[in-house]
Amino acid sequence: MSVHASKIRLLMELRRQGITDTKVLSALERIPREDFVSETFHDQAYENIALPIGYNQTLSQPYIVALMTEALKVSDRMKVLEVGTGSGYQALVLAKICRRLYTIERHKPLLDQAELRFKKFGQTNIVSKAGDGTKGWKEQAPFDRIMVTAAAADVPPDLADQLAIGGIMVAPIGEDTSGQWLIRVTRTETGFDVEELVEVRFVPLIPGLPE
């Protein structure tokens, strides 16, 4: 099956799974997923599965990328923080929809690769840095939207503090990979509203930097 046919099949599958946001589907259609994994996995790039990218990290399943992006309710006026750049795939999806994306990755070699991809695709509205994602990006706060791509036992308080009033955060929560939930947190004038969306499985969100 050609790359084009594989991509169309995947997009149809995502629609069947309930993804309806045309901006999200369009972003997924325009980004070549095979460019974010090693050649070994090119033939699986448009399967609806997670793929390894090194450093015990993964390129999330396309359905989860689409679901998290749709749940974030992003518009082109928004400033977005992503915690966990990884391969850069999710960052590029978000950057095609938002005004400006700030993204943090604790593994410098992964970030270096992701930054090369941002340049390759000519995406100029991404600002990235190596750092501890649990601390957020205080200098650039507040953010209209925050996406966390690794699971913590609870929402890191620094990230919650950096969400604008009316802002939304989407994050997987739960220490055990068999009991994680994707949640959507909306900041209100008086606190935070939390919705559970779906059960998920993510690598852990680890504070600090690699040894």
Tokens of 39: 């050649």
Question: Per-domain residue ranges for the chain?
Answer: 64-200
Q: Using a pLDDT cut of 90, give the percent of the chain over it.
A: 82
Beta bridge partners of 104: 83, 129
Q: Which CATH class is domain 64-200?
A: alpha beta
131 vs 82: CA distance, rounded Å: 12
Q: What is the pLDDT of residues 12-59, one digit of tens each?
A: 999 999 999 999 999 999 999 999 988 888 989 999 998 989 888 888
For the annotated catalytic residues, the residue numbers are 60
Provide the 8-state DSSP code for 44.
G
Q: What is the pLDDT of residues 4-21, one digit of tens each?
A: 899 999 999 999 999 999
**In 122-202, which residue ranges form alpha helices assigned H by DSSP?**
157-161
Q: What mean pLDDT is predicted for residues 183-208?
A: 93
Q: What is the pLDDT of residues 129-177, one digit of tens each?
A: 999 999 999 999 999 999 999 999 999 999 999 999 999 999 999 977 6
Which pLDDT score, from 0 to 100, does residue 30 have?
94
Top-confidence residue, 2 or 79: 79
- Give the confidence band of 207 by pLDDT, cuts at 50, 70, 90: confident
72 vs 56: CA distance, rounded Å: 26
Which pLDDT score, from 0 to 100, does residue 211 have?
61
- Give the confidence band of 203 by pLDDT, cuts at 50, 70, 90: confident
